[in-house]
Chains A and B, each alone.
Chain A
């Protein structure tokens, strides 16, 4: 009986070698797969972000153009004239006797320059 148990015990102790190489390959494949998926989803997220930024930029550019157009329109001489009249600013160019000219002759030139 004891001999049988001993025999059985011996039989149970037979060790199958762990397939390290296979495990490594499987882990590597799994890591690569996960990395690929991770990178892929990150690319998708970046793509979405780029798209969003592109849309924001396009909207911003359109707004800028609209504002520039509006600014250009309201600062046109005709509109400024209208605004001056509306607010009764009565702005006119100075008359000749209201003008004080400050002149300065450069040492190396015959021309006068304005100050």
Chain B
């Protein structure tokens, strides 16, 4: 009987065990094959991660491919106070990070004490090369401190410290071309210059990766479900040349220092294509520290500063008068020995002349002579002629902040306006407009659209956008332009106002300008008696013009003991600067005195 009872118990036990295992097996089968959402969700949530790799912002390069702006690898350093409190060493984190990044230990400690937070950024945009002592790990970083003797200490695992990728915009050339290149802000949005203008092309596109991690927080590649690569931004190639730009920037800085000018700016343009080879403005600033520069320093005066050009305007007025055959270059004009009253207002010349030819009116820069020629033209013709040179209109360079100048129609003119506009007053222009006018004279009457951006290329080399030289118009006939080239060449010859702009071995044509500055309405309006805008605009070689340069100085000059202002004339202040830039440019661009591109240099024997 006992045997039978035992057999029953054994069978019962066996069945029970089988049932238990069958139950576990069934549960396992259901868990694996038909898992419930509440089981799956937390696991999925813990494993799945989404990452948005950042596309680099495109580069800005000069005409020779020299990098002017580029993205550089940088990181935000952050801590996870909650994780550090649970698994890490807050004291070590505080000590080492404060030491490495020169942070206040007290502040850092306070941040780490807030254990409700899981992300606290402690240092922004740290360049990659400054993080060589850090090695990224899944739950923290391995940091190798430096001992007092300069040797490396034993690496230490700082849990809860992370490095987050955050590329920074870097400008390796510093202040070079600052006003043209502009800058992108911390969010990577172009905020000035080409960076702003070409933001649509420059900015990169984020990618997207959705994948899962293993227990050590490493990605399991085979679980990557979405993998969209980031797209880098396009590269923008400028027409500027860094060497000419450097010389131009140095030259205007020297001019401002030598002649105590408040500011100076200059443009170098290729006559035949309208390409801008250099565009400089002083004071300037370092693009890597743009936030520290005053707003006034960040202004690109070459295109964003309206000023009364003074006598440089005479080139355009007399060109128009010759073009419409109002006068010929040999016609005589009475310059009234330097003092003439018209419309109840006196007009003076700095050097009184009697009766001189139209050619000499340009050479000696006679205000009275030009005013009389303008009067012969009449209001409408003068207005129309200058409009053909695109005064009062934006030239479409495309940089933000480009001014159109101020040029009212004749219905707003007073009786004497025509005499003042002829000599470059009562008209507001930008340096770009004046250099464009002079380039038109140099290029046989053809005005080219100023070009600053050459092309935009995708990272794979595909050209997305290409600018070609574009004709703006023909403000004067070729024959007139050629006559004007000869007349303007006399300005730099002996007796002219621009002799200091002469370049050894080359014939230079140009025009000086010295205009009194406008007094703001708050100060009573009118003009300052002793504050001037001085300029020189010219081109070379006259026989076959290749480059056109304008140099402008804001309020140059110095006072003598008697209170007289000296050294402020355009020829005196801007002439030598023009020469310095031109001397370099013709050699660098290998322009021969005849305008052809040649030569080999050898040492003097």
Residues of B within 8 A of A66 (CB): 72-73, 128-129
Main secondary structure of the interface of A (DSSP, over half): helix
Instruction: Tell me, yes or no, whether B474 is within 8 Å of chain A by CB.
Output: no
| B337 close to chain A: CB less than 8 A | no
Known: A47-B221, A66-B72, A112-B596. A98 touches B176 (CB 8 A): no
Q: By the criterion CB–CB under 8 Å, are A69 and B67 in contact?
A: yes
In whole angstroms, how far apart are the Cα atoms of A113 and B67 in the complex? 31
B176 touches A78 (CB 8 A): yes
A114 touches B599 (CB 8 A): yes
In the assembled complex, the CB of A102 is this many whole angstroms from the nearest CB of chain B, namely 6
A93–B172 CB distance below 8 A: no
Q: How far, in angstroms, from A102 to B604 measured CA to CA in the complex?
A: 17
Is B480 interfacial (CB 8 A cutoff)? no
**Are B176 and A76 interface neighbours, CB within 8 A?**
yes
Interface 1/0 per residue, A45-82 and B, CB below 8 Å: 01110110000000000100110111011011110010
A78 to B253, CA, bound (A): 14
Chain A residue numbers with a CB within 8 Å of B242 are 76-77
Closest to B247 in A: A77
Cross-chain contact A65 with B73 (CB below 8 angstroms)? yes
Q: Using Cβ atoms and an 8 Å threshold, which residues of chain A touch B174?
A: 76, 78
Q: Please, which residue of chain A has its CB at the minimum distance from the CB of B544?
A: A111
Contact code string A73-115 (vs B, CB < 8 Å = 1, else 0): 1011110010000000000011111111111000000011111
Of B327-335, B369-377, B587-595, the one with at least 4 CB within 8 A of chain A: B587-595
Q: How far is the CA of A40 from the CA of B247 in the complex (A)?
A: 64
Q: Does B603 contact A (CB under 8 A)?
A: yes
Are B73 and A77 interface neighbours, CB within 8 A?
no
Contact of B172 among A72, A81, A97 (CB under 8 A): A72
B66 interfacial contact with A, CB 8 Å: yes
A68 proximity list for chain B (CB < 8 A): 67, 70
* CA A81 to CA B505, docked complex, whole Å: 26
CB 8 Å contact bits of B240-252 with A (1 = contact, 0 = none): 0011001100000
Q: A65-B70, A75-B66 are in contact. Are A100 and B601 (CB under 8 A)?
A: yes
B602 neighbours in A (Cβ, 8 Å): 98, 100
Asked whether, in the complex, the Cβ of B604 is within 8 Å of the Cβ of A47, the reply is: no
Chain B residues within an 8 Å CB radius of A46: 221
User: Contacts of A94 on B, CB cut-off 8 Å?
Assistant: 587, 601
Q: Is A103 touching B66 in the complex (CB atoms < 8 A)?
A: no
B32 CB to closest chain A CB, in angstroms?
Answer: 16
Given the known interface contacts A66-B128, A95-B604, A100-B601, the answer about A51 and B584 at a Cβ–Cβ threshold of 8 Å is no
With A69-B170, A77-B242, A93-B584 in contact, do A114 and B598 touch (Cβ < 8 Å)?
yes
| B245 and chain A: residue at smallest CB distance | A77
Q: Mark B202-224, 1 if CB is under 8 A from A, else 0.
A: 00000000000000001111100
Quick one: closest B residue to A73, CB to CB? B172
Tell me whether A111 and B596 are in contact (CB under 8 A): yes
Interface residue B583 (Cβ < 8 Å from any Cβ of A)? yes
Q: Does B151 touch A at the CB level, under 8 Å?
A: no
Choose among A47, A76, A100 the residue that contacts B173 (Cβ–Cβ < 8 A): A76
Q: How far is the CA of A112 from the CA of B176 in the complex (A)?
A: 35
Q: Which residue of B lies closest to A113 (CB)?
A: B596
Known: A48-B221, A99-B601. A69 touches B172 (CB 8 A): yes
Output the least CB separation between A87 and chain B (Å): 19
Q: Which of A51, A73, A96, A111 contacts B505 (CB 8 A)?
A: A96
Known contacts A77-B242, A96-B505, A100-B602; A112/B73 CB under 8 A = no
A112 to chain B: closest residue by CB: B596
- Rounded to whole angstroms, the CA-CA distance of A50 and B170 in the bound complex is 31
B246→A112 contact, CB < 8 A? no
In the complex, what's the smallest C-beta–C-beta distance from A82 to chain B, in angstroms? 12
**Given A75-B66, A77-B242: A101 in contact with B604 (beta carbons within 8 A):** no
User: Chain A residue with minimal CB distance to B127?
Assistant: A66
Q: Are B220 and A47 in contact (CB under 8 A)?
A: yes
Contact assessment for B604 and A97 in the assembled complex, using a CB-CB cutoff below 8 Å:
yes
Of A47, A65, A66, most B-chain CB atoms within 10 Å: A65
Closest to B591 in A: A114
The residues of B with any CB-CB pair to A shorter than 8 Å are: 66-67, 70-73, 128-129, 170, 172-174, 176, 218-222, 242-243, 246-247, 504-505, 583-584, 587-588, 590, 592, 594, 596-604
- Contacts A70-B172, A72-B172, A72-B173 given; 7 further ones with Cβ under 8 A? A47-B221, A65-B70, A65-B72, A97-B604, A98-B601, A102-B600, A112-B598
Q: List, sorted by A's number, 22 A–B pairs whose CB atoms are closer than 8 Å.
A: A44-B221, A47-B221, A50-B221, A51-B221, A65-B72, A68-B70, A69-B70, A72-B173, A73-B172, A75-B66, A76-B174, A76-B246, A77-B243, A77-B246, A78-B174, A96-B504, A100-B599, A101-B592, A102-B598, A102-B600, A114-B590, A114-B597
> Which A residues form the contact surface with B (CB < 8 A)?
43-44, 46-48, 50-51, 62, 65-66, 68-70, 72-73, 75-78, 81, 93-103, 111-115
